[in-house]
Amino acid sequence: MHARDKLLGPDVNLENVAKRCLGMSGADLANVLNEAAIFSARKKKEQIESVDIFDAIDRIQIGLEKSGATFSAERQKLVSYHEAGHALLGALMEEYDLVNKISIVPRGGTGGVTIFSPEEEAMESGMYTKEYLENRICVAMGGRIAEELVLGSDKVTTGASNDFMQATNTARMMVEQMGMSDIIGPRALINTMPTPM
Catalytically active residues, by annotation: 83
| Region class of 159: left (phi > 0), else alpha (psi between -120 and 50), else beta | alpha
Tell me the torsion sign for CA atoms 149, 154, 158, 161: positive
CB 30 within 8 A of CB 71: no
- What's at 86, amino acid-wise? H
The set of residues, in sequence order, having a beta carbon less than 8 Å from that of 60 and lying 6+ positions away, is: 28, 31, 32, 35
For residue 110, list its beta bridge partners. 107
Distance from C-alpha of 167 to C-alpha of 141, rounded to nearest angstrom: 7
**CA–CA separation, 122 vs 118, rounded Å?**
8
